């Protein structure tokens, strides 16, 4: 059980680093944005993992059921908000990339920098 509990956190850390690597190392703006989405997705996993209670179920009161163990619903609500924020960020980022492509004719970051210097 201990290992299973930690497994999620390992996935969180690996995903976080995969996303972060893409953000830093890639020059293609769409790939950067993809990395950013993975990076944010990792954090969603962290929140979802921490709310799980062993043997817990969805926090809904049912008739005839007493002493049920519930998972903590709050982090799920928080992450629902964070997912919305993530989608807005991705949408805005993609919109910016479209405008950048129209203005520069490329979406490679190093090439846009070179074009600006010229």
Partner 1 sequence: MSIASQLPALQIVVPLLVAPLTVLLRGSGLAWAAATAASAMAFAIAVALTLTALDGATISYDMGGWPAPYGIELRLDAFSALLLLLTTGASTLSLLGARDSIAELMGESREPLFYAAWLVALAGLCGIAITGDAFNVFVFMEISSLATYVLIAAGPDRRALTAAFKYLIMGTVGATFYLIGVGLVYMMTGTLNFADMEARLAEVDEVRPIVVAAGFITIGLALKAAIFPLHVWLPNAYSSAPNLVTVFIAACSTKVALYVLLRFDFFVFHGNLVGHAFQFSSFLAPLAVLGILVGSAVAVVESNVKRLLAYSSVAQLGYILLGASFGDLAGMTAAITLMFNHGLAKGALFMAIAALAMHTRGHTLADLSGAARQMPWTAAALVIAGASLIGIPGTAGFISKWLLLQAALQQGPLGVVAAVAVVAGSLAALAYVWRIIEPLYFGTAEGSTAGGSTAVYTATPPLLLLALWLAAGANVYFGLIPAVPVSLSELAAAELLGHLR
The single residue among 30, 80, 103, 114 that binds partner 1, judged by CB under 8 A, is: 103
Q: Is 75 in the site for partner 1 (CB under 8 A)?
A: yes
* H-type alpha helices, 1-118: 2-25, 29-50, 73-104, 109-117
Tokens of 7: 């497994």
Instruction: Tell which positions 77-96 bind partner 1, by CB under 8 A.
Output: 78, 81-82, 85, 88-89, 92-93, 96
In the complex, least distance from residue 71 CB atom to partner 1, rounded to whole angstroms: 14
Number of residues that bind partner 1 (CB under 8 A): 32
> 100: closest CA among 87, 89, 85, 115?
115
The crossing angle, in degrees rounded to 10, of helices 109-117 and 73-104 is 40
Maximum distance among all Cα pairs of the chain, rounded to whole angstroms: 74
- Is residue 71 a contact point for partner 1 (CB under 8 A)? no
- Residue 99: CB atoms within 10 A of its CB come to 10
User: Which residues within the stretch 8-37 sit at the binding site for partner 1 (CB under 8 A)?
Assistant: 16, 20, 23, 29, 32-33, 36
CA distance 16 to 85: 17
The site for partner 1 (CB under 8 A) is made up of: 16, 20, 23, 29, 32-33, 36, 39-40, 43, 46-47, 50, 75, 78, 81-82, 85, 88-89, 92-93, 96-97, 99-100, 103-104, 109, 112-113, 116
């Amino acid at each position: 059980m201990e290992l299973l509990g930690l497994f999620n956190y390992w996935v969180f850390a690996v995903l976080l680093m995969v996303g972060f690597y893409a953000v830093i190392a890639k020059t293609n703006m769409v790939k950067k944005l993809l990395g950013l989405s993975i990076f944010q997705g990792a954090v969603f996993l962290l929140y979802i993992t921490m709310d799980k209670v062993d043997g817990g179920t969805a926090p809904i009161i049912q008739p005839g059921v007493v002493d049920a163990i519930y998972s903590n619903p709050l982090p799920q609500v928080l992450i629902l908000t964070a997912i919305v924020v993530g989608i807005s960020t991705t949408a805005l980022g993609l919109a910016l990339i479209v405008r950048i492509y129209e203005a520069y004719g490329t979406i490679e970051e190093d090439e846009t920098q070179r074009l600006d210097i010229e």
